Amino acid sequence: MAKSLFDLKGRRSLLTGSSQGIGFALAKGLADHGAEVVINGRSREKVEAAVTTLRDEGYNASSAVFDVTDAEATLAGVNVIEEEIGPIDILVNNAGMQFRAPLEDFPGEKWEELLKTNISSIFYVGQAVARRMIARGAGKIINIASVQSELARTGIAPYTATKGAVRNLTRGMCADWAHHGLQINAIAPGYFKTPLNQALVDDPAFSGWLEKRTPAARWGDLDELVGAAVFLAGDASSFVNGHTLYVDGGLTTSL
């Protein structure tokens, strides 16, 4: 019984923005617990490379190349998955971007791009997938939030705004869809070594500050996000809904 709570065999997961970084780590983690994974991204080359890597390791993986910031492309992409690959049991809304600049000089076009990538994509994909899940009376949606859903830092105010929206959209999805049998939650990573954070990883001053600021005194390793994803994707979280789970080494708990 205990093992079955974290067993994802027979379940299919779509992960957006999953050809690298957090998305790929989560895809591999879910696959390692038995799930079939569908890798999504805009670059066919990167998506196919990720799928090949997973298949070479013995995992059941498929590709779905479409732009999650485009509502029509997203609906079409989800329909293709559902009709040609199979029903989506688990959705991980991971696609995201970062852009750093002082708020007074922040380019308007980057503001719009952040909104589309970090929050509109969750609405578009979440809605398209949830319609199918609602008809089936079950489904898991995991949105990737951030410690910036709770805290702000100099130079990334627009990113902080989008991640705060992710946290509240997760709550709203729960309010609307939980009674249909769906569980919608979020994972809020702290600082992990990813391509998105490479500039910070390579900055000795920032890394030194982070190690002092974080109670765990280090950067997170991507594999440390897998347990949270497996928990929220499986039966163990059947009565967890609208929750944001911070995986941050204690960063948001102390001054």
Active-site annotation, residues: 159
Residues 129, 140 contacting (CB under 8 angstroms): no
Distance CA 229, CA 8 (A): 11
The C-alpha atoms of residue 201 and residue 181 are separated, in whole angstroms, by: 41
Bridge partners for 143 per DSSP: 93, 186
Report d(CA 219, CA 39) in Å as an integer: 26
Burial environment of residue 2 by CB neighbours within 10 A (0 to 12, 13 to 18, 19 or more) = exposed
Residues 6+ positions from 18 with CB-CB distance below 8 Å: 24, 26, 27, 37, 39, 40, 41, 50, 92, 94
At 9 the three-state DSSP class reads coil
Query: In this structure, are residues 214 and 191 in contact, taking their beta carbons and an 8 Å threshold?
Result: yes
